[in-house]
Chains A and B, each alone.
Chain A
Amino acid sequence: MNRDPLADPVRFIDERTAAAPQMRKFMRYLFPDHWSFLLGEVALYAFLVLIATGIYLALFFDPSTAKTVYHGSYTPLDGVRMSNAFKSVVDISLTYKAGLLMRQTHHWAADVFVAAILMHLMRVFFTGAFRKPRELTWIVGLILLFTALLEGYMGYSLVDDLLSGMGLAIGYGVGLSIPVIGGPVIQALFGAPFPGSPHLWSRMYIAHVLLVPLLLLALIGVHLLLVMARHHTQFRESPRHTQKRIIGVPLFPGQVPRSLALMLFVAGLLFLLGGLIQINPIWQWGPYEPWLGTNGAQPDWYLGWLIGALRLMPGFDVTIGHYTLIPNPFWGGVLFPLVVLGVLLAVPFAERRLTGDRGVHNLADRPRDAPGRTAFGVAFLSWVFLIFAFGAADRIFVLWGLSYNVQLFVFRIAIWVIPAILYVVTRRWCRALQVAEEVEAIQESAEEDIRSRAKARAPTAAGGR
Chain B
Amino acid sequence: MKLWQWLFALIVGRILRRRSPPEEPRQKPERIVPVGSPQRRAENLVLVFLGLAVVFALGFIVVYGQFSPRGMSNSLLGITLGGSLLWIALALTVVAKRLVVTEELEDDYPEQHPEKQREVVQIVHESGSRITRKRLLVGAGAAAGGTLGLAALTPVLSLGPVWDTDALDETPWRRGVRLVDDEGTPLRADDIQHQSFYTAFAEGADKELLGNSLVVIRLDPDKLHLPHGRSDWAPYGIMAYSKICTHAGCAVALYRNPKFPAVQPSPALVCPCHYSTFDPFTGGQVVYGPAGRPLPQLPLMIDDEGYLRAAGNFSARVGPSWWNVRERPTNA
Contact = CB atoms under 8 A, between A and B. Distances in A.
Nearest to A308: B274
Contact of B108 (A244, A273, A327): A244
B247 A328 contact: yes
A69 interface: no
B86 A179 contact: no
Nearest to A271: B82
Contact of A290 (B86, B251, B276): B251
Given A101-B77, A297-B273, A264 B86 contact: yes
Interface stretch (A116-124, A204-212, A249-257, A416-424): A249-257
A333 B322 CA distance: 13
Secondary structure of the B contact surface, majority rule: loop
Contact of A315 (B73, B254, B276): B276
A292 B251 contact: yes
Contacts of A180: 323
Contacts of B103: 249-250, 254
A268 B82 contact: yes
Contacts of A254: 96, 100-103
Contacts of B213: 290-291
A289 B293 contact: no
A268 B52 CA distance: 14
A436 interface: no
B143 interface: no
B286 interface: yes
B275 A311 contact: yes
- Is the interface on chain B under 10, 10 to 19, 20 to 34, or 35 or more residues? 35 or more
Contacts of B174: none
Interface in B88-103: 88-90, 92-93, 95-96, 100-103
Contacts of A3: 18, 23
A176 B322 contact: yes
A183 B33 CA distance: 64
A289 B325 CA distance: 24
B79 A272 contact: yes
A362 B84 CA distance: 39
A contact residues, range: 35 or more
A1 interface: yes
Interface in A323-337: 323-325, 327-329, 332-333
B184 interface: no
A327 B248 CA distance: 9
Interface string B96-114: 1000111111111110000
B326 A311 contact: no
A345 interface: no
Nearest to B77: A101
B291 to A, nearest CB: 5
Contacts of B106: 30, 240, 245-247
Contacts of A364: none
B193 interface: no
A274 interface: yes
A92 to B, nearest CB: 11
Interface string B242-286: 011101111111100000000000000001111110000000001
Give the 3 A-B CB pairs with smallest separation, nearest first: A275-B78, A317-B292, A173-B248
Interface of A: 1, 3, 28, 30, 33, 73, 94-95, 97-98, 100-101, 104-105, 166, 169-170, 172-174, 176-177, 179-180, 182-184, 187-195, 197, 199, 229-231, 240, 243-250, 253-254, 257-258, 260-265, 267-276, 289-297, 307, 310-311, 313-317, 319, 322-325, 327-329, 332-333, 362, 394, 404
